[in-house]
Amino acid sequence: MGRERLFPGDRVVAYVFVLLLCALTVLPLLYMVSLALQSDAEVYAGDPVLWPSSPRFDNFTALFERAPFGRFFVNSLVVAVVVTAAHLIFDPLVGYVFAKFEFPFKRTIFISVLSTLMIPFFVRMVPIYTMFSQIGWLDTYQGLVAPFLIDAFGIFLMRQFIAPLPDELIEAARVDGASELRIYARIILPQAKPALAVLGLFTFVYQWNNFLWPLIVTSRTEMRTMPIGLTLFNEEYFTQWNLTAAGAVLLFVPTALIFALTQRYLVRGIALTGLK
């Protein structure tokens, strides 16, 4: 069956519908940026201001003066980068083993790994917290990152992408005397760039916005991450909506940059790994 053609009227309706959806999606973000640049008078004027008459970029300076957002930002960046790097190192390697190697109980082990996805993190949180308190990892970077260094979802994602890759390439490399690590580094990883981009984006965004575990495992202000710091700031300065919006803009910018860098791989990676 051929592709159905839209009549001119239908095309206009479709475009209007898409534009409305885009506006509903983008409008809250634009208003957050507008609010971050408004003065106190415009915030409390009573009428919504779509764009401030005189943007106040010093709201961001005031934000750093009233709370250690520089330290919050660094903490979030360290956690997100370390966990993302660990996923990009370990998850493809394990996924490659499950996709291209045969060994006893392979299916059973793979199902066991996937079954951990059905255990909510808050169920594992109490024993992990108890263990970390006993070994002195509370209020430390290792306590923030250790529970997330490898993930069943990442293993599944990479296994789904690597499995369809031609076995002939691997066998030819083995005949030429290449080691398994060389095959993995020179053949598998270059072809897995779309899946790696998807994995890196999902991991970074989740860790950057992670709230529950950093809230529990840290108690000192200097170890708080951006989401926790912004929440505490909002509790103390709950009437300073422009400063809170400025903090939200800072929280949004890194994930937007990561998406901009990986977006050309994102659609292809999701399509080829079979994600729904």
Residues 75 and 42 in one domain: no
Closest CA to 164 of 104, 105, 113, 95: 95
Residues 16 and 152 in one domain: no
pLDDT confidence of residue 267: 65
Give me the tens of pLDDT residue by residue for the chain, a chain 276 residues long. 445 555 566 677 888 888 888 888 888 888 888 888 888 888 877 777 778 888 888 888 888 888 899 999 999 999 999 999 999 999 999 999 999 999 999 999 999 999 988 888 888 898 999 999 999 999 999 999 999 999 899 999 999 889 988 888 888 888 888 888 898 988 898 888 888 988 999 999 999 999 999 999 999 989 999 999 998 888 877 778 888 889 999 999 898 888 888 777 776 656 555 444
Q: How far apart are CA 163 and CA 71, in angstroms?
A: 42
Residues 73 and 168 in one domain: yes
pLDDT confidence of residue 193: 86
Q: Which two tokens stand for residue 146?
A: 């250790």
Residues 26 and 105 in one domain: no
Residues 217 and 182 in one domain: yes
Given 13, 35, 56, which residue is the final one in a domain?
A: 56
Residues 245 and 144 in one domain: yes
Residues 220 and 100 in one domain: yes
Domain tally for the chain?
A: 2
Given 35, 56, 77, which residue is the final one in a domain?
A: 56
Whether 63 maps to a domain, the answer reads: no
The 3-state secondary structure of 119-130 reads CCHHHHHHHHHH
Domain residues for the domain of 97 are: 68-273
Q: What CATH number is associated with residue 82?
A: 1.10.3720.10
Whether 62 maps to a domain, the answer reads: no
Residues 2 and 119 in one domain: no
Residues 7 and 106 in one domain: no
Residues 103 and 145 in one domain: yes
Closest CA to 243 of 28, 60, 10, 55: 60
